[in-house]
Chains A and B, each alone.
Chain A
Amino acid sequence: MMNDLNRRDFLLRSCSSLTAIWVSSHWPSLCSAATHARHAVQAPEATKLSFFTPTQAVEIDAIVARIIPTTDTPGAREAGAVYFIDKALMTFAIDQQKDYHEGLPEFEARAHEMFPTVEKFSSATPEQQDEVLHSFDDPDAKPSRRPYRPRKGANNFFETVRMHTIVAFLLDPDAGGDPKGVGWAVIGREREHMFHSPFGYYDKDYAGWRPISPASGKGQS
């Protein structure tokens, strides 16, 4: 896969080379993709905190690092989730500040209650941290095709942080998400803005649609 800079240069060159038929027929998309790529390259990495205190940020960082942990691939920590959430709470998620204000102290209290020697969630062992998170998890949560719709437990602290971590990890890197795109790399989502078939394993040798044989009544593909 091309890196960001190469991709941007490729797309920008494509935009200024309208003689090729293919480019000509797709030029609006190329320009659009190039604009996206430019925005991505220009987006500064968030490193300043606006909502969290440094102490709070350490705790949130510890939580997101258990929700999507670092394994042999990067996790929420490497995606900068704590900075994304910090920014979110000053912008699109401003209504959820209360969840964090009220939820984090309760969360810390639960951690201390479960493990009296632990002062802060961040200082607990990963195993202890997971036990604390399990104590907040909703055992009745069901999958939904409309995850953005309000659901039971969505307003509690854990559900809010869980959803925010997923958003931080998987929001389009070229549309406000982690500019490094580590989450997309983990799930195998390529960053290009345009694709051509074959797209995957099952269509690579596909011969194209053919009518069903009237004699057999069965397909030929």
Chain B
Amino acid sequence: MTPDMPKYKTSDEVDFVVVGSGAAGGIIAKELSSNGFRVVVLEQGPYLTEADFTHNEVKVLNQDLLTNHPKLQPNTFRKTPSEAAKQQRALVYGRLVGGTSVHFTANFWRFHEIDFIERTKIGPISGTGFADWPITYADLEPYYTKVDWEVGVSGLAGASPFDPPRSKPYPMPPLPTKCSGVLLEKAGRKLGWNPFPAPMAILSQPRAGRSACVNCGFCLGFGCEVGAKSSSLAAMIHVAEKTGRCEIRPNSYVHKIEIDANGRATGAVYFDSERNVHLQKAKAVVISANGAETPRLLLLSANKQFPNGLANSSGFVGKHLMFNSGAVSIGVFEEPLNDYKGFAVSRIIHDFYELDAQKVGFYGGGGIDARFDLTPIGFAAGVLPPGTPRWGKGFKDAIAHNFTRTMEIMSHGTSLPLETNSISLDADVKDDWGLPALCLTYKDHPDDLKLANWLNARGLELLDAAGAKQKWSFPIEEQSFGVHLLGTCRMGNDPKTSVVNADHRTHDVKNLFLCDGGSFVTSGRGQPTMTIEALAFRAADRIRDLAKRGDLA
């Protein structure tokens, strides 16, 4: 927290209240406050700092130091709407200032041109909500570049023959090449593919007062103790605070958007840390609470004017949830990789970004990375070859030999948007504040599973070509757990089939904007955060222009 940060009264009608401080919320808050607007950011989680980020796996991964807590915030899950939902953990997201960007892998792939126009190119897919975006890659390109330079992305422009056009190179060279990257590169080239340095939202050089990555090895799932990971917390929040116009208010759990008789948003109602209820007044509201909590908040805000939930005249709030498909193969090598050192990923392959459905027999595409994103306990408890003893000398020998010699091939791919896959309010289960819990309904489209299997086969080929002494895959099954929460408040030009327009403004409430993974129309190829952030920069520009024109009143 910087000394410049203002403290607004809840009765002050600020220009904007932003719900959520993650990948999108942090950027929107920074952009709007930098443009002279008075902003309050309401974040349900705590305001932690780099000093709070520990390597304690139990605290971070087991006790949810940085993430939504299943006891306080239970959720339910079912595969189809006809099933009874059962209480089981089906999602994880960052619950702190900076949101999920604090603990993410930091794979920062831009979407390609095809991602925005795929419906037009390949036609409809029966039984799905497959659609084009109302914007194109060209619309978003300047904002991708802004993410590269303002948030901080390391990479090598022009390295991938599949990359879309870009207006500027990366601001920093790629991070060092890990052994998993060297092996992927050699294997991929042997197979005739095009591995290239992974663009990562982690600093390879000191920048903007932040340290370069020190390769500590506690990256995915953990907060960066040196500020090298380009989270909203490290890259945006402090800039917003320094404007003197942006207040970050942590431990503020928004559960209702207040609407006046004219159908205009007047602020956000939230519980503070003592569970007292407040209304923060604002001229306009931006919700960037993630693809699960944003639709939930809209549904929780139902009233007489909006009986099916706020901004839900389309009936699409919460619908078309997409997790991204994927697969994981593991390889064990003869010599030590020591891939526990450093960040997760240094090389990726995009040769299969756009598969020919006529040839492979299904819709989809994806990317492949080589990584080791495991910390010692997680590795020992979960990533040993099938048949390895689970305790005793055989277990000990396996962890002693394999920890330094293991790498993963992870595939990431498309998920088709299905109206039946959704976020809704559970009819029975409540959270610790007495509010209806999230209910996730999800069943992969058959093409998504075919794609995962197809990509997994390529992963195993890569491990063979790399010379792995042992390899295996985790079974590909219908997903019941997601960390990419996409598509639930999709953008579009038609108010009947979308929740927000191309400016992220809800079709139904003029001064209410939504921007996060929920805004996606299609899923992309498995790395959504770069696009969430580019959308956020663009949304902030659009909102700024509307506000300056007096179009929010």
Residues of A within 8 A of B (CB): 25-29, 32-33, 35-36, 66-69, 71, 73, 75, 92, 130, 133, 137, 141-150, 162-163, 165-167, 169-172, 174-177, 183-184, 186-190, 193-197, 199-203, 206, 208-209, 211-212, 217-221
Chain B residues with Cβ below 8 Å from A206 are: 177, 182
Q: Is the CB of B336 within 8 A of A200?
A: yes
A130 to chain B: closest residue by CB = B392
CB neighbours (8 Å) of B196 from chain A are 209
Give the shortest distance, in Å, between A14 (CB) and chain B (any CB): 12
Among B165-197, those with CB < 8 Å from A are 174, 176-179, 181-183, 185-186, 188-190, 192, 194-197
Task: Report Cα–Cα, A217/B192, bound state, in Å.
Answer: 7
Contact between chains at A145 and B178 (CB < 8 Å): no
Bound Cα distance from A173 to B121, whole angstroms? 54
- B5 at interface by CB-CB < 8 Å: no
Q: Could you say which of B339, B382, B392, B404 contacts A187, with CB atoms under 8 Å apart?
A: B404
Residue of B at shortest CB range from A144? B382
Q: Is the CB of B214 within 8 A of A187?
A: no
User: Which B residues are in CB contact (< 8 Å) with A188?
Assistant: 336, 338, 400, 403-404
Q: Determine whether the beta carbon of B182 is less than 8 Å from that of A195.
A: no
Interface majority SS on A: helix, strand, loop or mixed? loop
Closest Cβ of chain A: how far from B304's Cβ, in Å? 41
Does residue B315 face the partner (Cβ distance < 8 Å to A)? no
Main secondary structure of the interface of B (DSSP, over half): loop
Pick from A29, A170, A174, A175: contact of B380, CB under 8 Å: A170
Q: Which residues of chain B have C-beta atoms less than 8 A from A187's C-beta?
A: 376, 380, 399-400, 403-404
**B335–A201 CB distance below 8 A:** yes
CB pairs A–B below 8 angstroms (18 shown)? A29-B216, A32-B225, A66-B391, A71-B393, A73-B400, A75-B396, A166-B381, A167-B58, A172-B218, A188-B400, A189-B404, A193-B214, A195-B215, A199-B215, A200-B335, A201-B336, A203-B179, A219-B195
Task: For A219, list chain B residues within 8 Å (CB).
Answer: 185-186, 188-190, 195
- Is the pair B185, A145 in contact by a Cβ cutoff of 8 Å? no
Chain B interface residue number, banded = 35 or more
In the bound complex, do residue A209 and residue B337 qualify as a contact, i.e. CB atoms below 8 Å apart?
no
Write out, one digit per residue, whether chain B residues 502-526 have a CB within 8 A of any chain A CB (1) or not (0): 0000000000000000000000000
**Interchain nearest-CB distance for B172 vs A (Å):** 13
**Interface segment out of the listed B48-56, B263-271, B413-421, B451-459:** B48-56
Q: Is there contact, CB below 8 Å, between B342 and A202?
A: no
Nearest 6 A/B pairs, CB to CB: A219-B189, A147-B381, A201-B335, A147-B382, A194-B214, A200-B338
- New A-B contacts (8) at CB < 8 Å, excluding given A25-B205, A172-B57, A175-B55: A32-B225, A137-B391, A188-B403, A195-B215, A199-B215, A199-B339, A209-B197, A219-B188
Is B226 close to A, CB under 8 A?
Answer: yes
Contact B188 A189 (CB under 8 A): no
Q: Check: B1 CB closer than 8 A to any chain A CB.
A: no
Q: Are B226 and A186 interface neighbours, CB within 8 A?
A: no
Contact A162 B214 (CB under 8 A): no
Q: Tell me if B340 counts as interface (CB < 8 A to partner A).
A: yes
Given A29-B214, A176-B58, A218-B192, A137 and B390 contact (CB-CB distance below 8 Å): yes
Q: Which of A25, A29, A195, A202 contacts B337 (CB 8 A)?
A: A202
- Give chain A residues whose Cβ lies under 8 Å from the Cβ of B63: 92
Closest to A188 in B: B404
Does B358 touch A at the CB level, under 8 Å? no
Residues of B within 8 A of A36 (CB): 55
Tell me whether A199 and B216 are in contact (CB under 8 A). no
Complex Cα–Cα for A92 and B397 (A)? 29
| A89 → chain B closest CB, angstroms | 13
Q: Identify A28's interface contact among B89, B159, B226, CB under 8 A.
A: B226
The docked-state distance in angstroms from the alpha carbon of A68 to that of B390 is 10
Q: Which of B214-273 contact A (CB under 8 A)?
A: 214-218, 225-228
Whether A203 contacts B177 by the Cβ 8 Å rule is: yes
* Smallest CB gap from A214: residue in B: B161
* CB pair B55 A172 closer than 8 Å: yes
Given the known interface contacts A195-B341, A197-B176, A221-B186, the answer about A148 and B206 at a Cβ–Cβ threshold of 8 Å is: no
Considering the complex, give the chain A residue whose CB is closest to the CB of B407: A202
B378 CB contact (under 8 Å) in A147, A150, A184: A147
B residues near A208, Cβ cutoff 8 Å: 177
CB distance from A95 to the nearest CB of B (A): 10
